[in-house]
Amino acid sequence: MRTIRCKNYEEMSRRAADVIAAQLILDPKTVLGLATGTTPVGCYQRLIELNREGAIDFSEVSTYNLDEYRGLTHDDPQSYHYFMADQLFNHVNIKAANTHVPDGSNPDAASACAEYDHMVENAGYVDLQLLGIGNNGHIGFNEPCSDFPVGTHCVDLTESTIRANSRLFEREEDVPRQAYTMGVGTIMKARRVLVLASGEAKADAVRAMCYGPVEPGCPASALRLHPDCIVIADEAALSKCPEGL
Residue positions annotated with a catalytic role:
67, 136, 138, 143
d(CA 68, CA 81): 8
d(CA 92, CA 34): 15
Asked if residue 34 lies in contact with residue 45, where contact means CB atoms within 8 angstroms, the answer is: no
d(CA 3, CA 35): 19
Single-letter residue type at 101: V
Strand partners, 62: 31
d(CA 183, CA 234): 26
**How is 184-220 classified by DSSP, letter by letter?**
HHHHHTSSEEEEEE-SGGGHHHHHHHHHS--STTSGG
**Ramachandran angles phi, psi of 195, nearest 5°:** -105, 130
Helix (H) / strand (E) element for 19: namely helix 9-26
d(CA 182, CA 116): 8
Helix locations, 27-157, DSSP H: 41-52, 80-87, 109-122
